[in-house]
Structure 1
Amino acid sequence: MNIMHRNDLKKITILSLSMFAILGLAGCNDSSDSKSKNVKSEQKVETAPLNGKFIPIYEVARTNENRVEENLWRSRKLLEDYTAEMNSFVNIPVDIKVVAKECKEANAFYDSETQTIELCYELGAEERKMFTEAGDSGDILDTELYQSAVGTLFHEAGHALIDVLDLKITGREEDVADQLAAYILTYNDEDKDYLLTVSDTYSLAAKRAKTLDDLPFYDSHSLDAQRAVNFLCYVYGSDTKNFQYLISDDLLNKERSEECEHEYNQIVEAWDFLLAPYFKK
C-alpha cells in the first residue's frame, strides 16, 4: 500500500484556486470590512503551522482472543505503515494518535476531544469470526483481516481530517469518511483489493440481519449492505474496464453501475479540492 499524490489533479486544483483568488480580488474594488476579514482569514489558513503527525500506539491486549488480533496487526506493521503513509500524504496542525486497544466492544472511532483514532482488537476478532464462518482460513484470512483494518483506519482518517482541518462538507460525515477511504485506496491499482475486502466485510455483516429490527435505520452510518455496494461502485467507477465483472445481481446492480464513474469522479474532485492546501509537497 502506497499513497501517492494525484499530482496532476492537485496542481490543477491549486492553480484553479489561485486564479479564482486573483480574479476575485482584481474584479472587485469594494474594501468593506467583510471582504477584509475574508482575506485575513485566508491568509491565516495559509500561514498556520502544520507540524502535526500521526503517531502509532499499540496497547497490550489482555484476552487470548484479542491477543490474536494484536499479534496480527503488530506482525503486519499495521499502524506503523498507516501512520507513515498519512504523514507522507497530508499536513496536519496537531498530532493524531492512532491507538490499537481493547475497547470491550467491536468498534473503531475517532475521538475529537483527544484527537485520537482508536481501533479495537474486538473489531478484528468479530471480523475473524465472520470470515471464518464464510470458509476462509490461513494466510487468506489474515490478509482479509489486515486489509479490512486498513480500510477502517482510512475511514477514521476522514473523521480526523474533517475535524483538525475544519473541512466543510455536505452530507453525512460517515458517508464522506467512507469516500475518503475510497479516494485513497483507489489511487494505486494494487490497493483496490483493499476496498473489495472492505465491501466483503460489510456484505458479511449485512447477512447477519434476519429481520427489519436488525437494521439500524436510525444510525448515522449507511446500512451495511449499502456500504458494501457503495465501495464496489467506487472501485468500478475508478476503472470500468477492469472491474466490469463486479456488475451482477449479487454484487453491483447494473442500474447503479451506470452512475459509478460519475460518483467516483465527484469524490476525487471534492477531496482534491478540500485537501489541496494541505498536500505534502
Structure 2
Amino acid sequence: MVLAGTVMAGCAGEAHDTGQEPGAGPRPQAARSGKVTVVYEPGTVAPEDREAVALIRNSRVLERSADWVNRSLTLPHDMVVKVTAAVPEGVTDAVTQPDGRTIFIPPSFLAEIEKALADVVKTVERPAQFPASEYNTDDLTVLSTEFIFGHEMGHALQRQLLLANLGLEEDAADGYASFYTVNEVGPGPSLAAAILFDEIARKEGVPTLERLSSDHPITQQRAYNFLCYLYGSDPKKYQRSLVDSGDLPKTRAPLCPQAWAMLDYGWWTQLRPHFSAPFKARGDEEQKKAHARLIAETNALAERINEIRKSQ
C-alpha cells in the first residue's frame, strides 16, 4: 500500500551539500527571517487526484501551519511547501529535503489518504472520542493531513535550525506534530491521525523485518503515541473518551501526562532561541509554564510509579 510506505518510509529526500564542515555547529541566523510559503502546481495534478488536492487547498490547513511558523519563528532560510507531482525521482509520499528548505507533497499521496479514510468511514464504527459531525471522509482527510504535515514541518525545523535531538528524528517529527496541533489547533488532528494509522496498521498486518528495522516506529505504536500525548495534555478532559473507552490502554495512560509535559517543554525550549520578536513574550511564557508543568508531572509520576509498575 503506497500510503503505508508514505507514513513509514518517507521524509528523507535527497542529500545536499550544506556548505559546512563536520561539527561546525549551528549556522548563524540570517539577518532577515526566512518565510514558509505553500505552492500548488495544478498543472501537474492527475485527474484522479484533483478532488483530494482541492479539498486540502480549500481547507487551508497547510497554510495554517505555515502561518504559525512565520509568526512565531525566525528561520535562516525560506521554506517552500510544494503540492506537486513534479517531485524528485523515487518520491511517492510527503518528504522533507535534508536542508529543510523544501517539503514535497505529491497529489497522489493526498488521494491515498482520502481513499484510506473513505474505507474507514464505511467499515469502522466511529470511535467514541471523535465527533459524529466530523466522522466523514472529507473532515478526516483534512485533519489527518494537518497532522502529517506537522510531522514534515517538524523535520524541516529540525534541519533548518539544526536542533539538538536526543532520539530518532522521526520520533521528534511526530512529537512536533502533536506539539503544534494540540497547542494550536485542538484534538481533531491527533484523533484523525490515530484513526488513519490504525487503518494502515490493520492493512499492513504482521510487521515485516523491513518495518521492524525502519527508523519510523511501528505504525500501530505511533497511533497510540498520538493518543497518549493528547490525553496527557488534559487527562481530566480526555479520561472518559480515550481511556475509559479503551482506545488508550489503562497501562499506558498513567505515563502520558509526564510524557506530554516533557514533549511540550522540549519543543518550546528547542524553539526558544528562534522565536520572532513579536512572538517572544508569548513564547517565553509558554516555555516557562511548560517547565513548571514538567516538574509537577515528574513529581506526580514519582509518587505513583510503584503502583503503575505493578499494574503493567
TM, length-normalised to structure 2:
0.70
Correspondent of 1:54 among 36, 57, 60: 36
**1:117-266 equivalence runs, <5 A:** 117-135=103-121, 140-188=136-184, 191-213=186-208, 216-244=211-239, 245-247=241-243, 250-266=246-262
Residue type of the partner of 1:272? W
Distance 1:210 1:48 in 2: 47
User: What is the CA deviation profile of residues 172-212 of structure 1, one whole-angstrom value per residue up to 9, with x for unaligned ones?
Assistant: 00000110111111114x52211111111111111102234
Q: Is the 8 A contact 1:217 1:223 kept in 2?
A: yes
Runs of at least 5 residues in structure 1 that lack an aligned partner in the other structure: 1-40
User: What is the CA deviation profile of residues 34-60 of structure 1, one whole-angstrom value per residue up to 9, with x for unaligned ones?
Assistant: xxxxxxx99x85x65241000111112
Shift of 1:223: 1.0
Distance 1:51 1:120 in 2: 27
What is residue 96 of structure 2 aligned with on the other side? Answer: 110
Distance 1:213 1:110 in 2: 25
What is residue 303 of structure 2 aligned with on the other side? Answer: none
What is residue 301 of structure 2 aligned with on the other side? Answer: none
Correspondent of 1:270 among 266, 270, 289: 266
Q: Secondary structure at the match of 2:45?
A: coil
Q: Secondary structure at the match of 1:117?
A: strand
Shift of 1:105: 5.9
Distance 2:62 2:243 in 1: 34
Shift of 1:215: 6.6
Shift of 1:250: 4.8
Shift of 1:113: 4.4
Q: Is the 8 A contact 1:150 1:194 kept in 2?
A: yes
Distance 2:274 2:207 in 1: 43
Distance 2:194 2:238 in 1: 14
Shift of 1:134: 1.8
Q: Secondary structure at the match of 2:187?
A: helix
Q: Secondary structure at the match of 1:255?
A: coil
Distance 2:105 2:73 in 1: 21
* Larger CA Rg, structure 1 vs 2: 1
Residue type of the partner of 1:58? Y
Q: Secondary structure at the match of 1:127?
A: helix
> Percent of pairs identical after alignment?
27
Q: Is the 8 A contact 1:105 1:123 kept in 2?
A: no
User: What is the CA deviation profile of residues 95-119 of structure 1, one whole-angstrom value per residue up to 9, with x for unaligned ones?
Assistant: 0001112258651110124720111
> Please, what is the CA RMSD of the aligned residues?
2.5
1:68 paired to 2:36:
no
Pairs aligned (count):
238
Residue type of the partner of 2:149? L
Shift of 1:230: 0.1
Distance 1:242 1:97 in 2: 37
TM, length-normalised to structure 1:
0.77
Shift of 1:132: 1.3
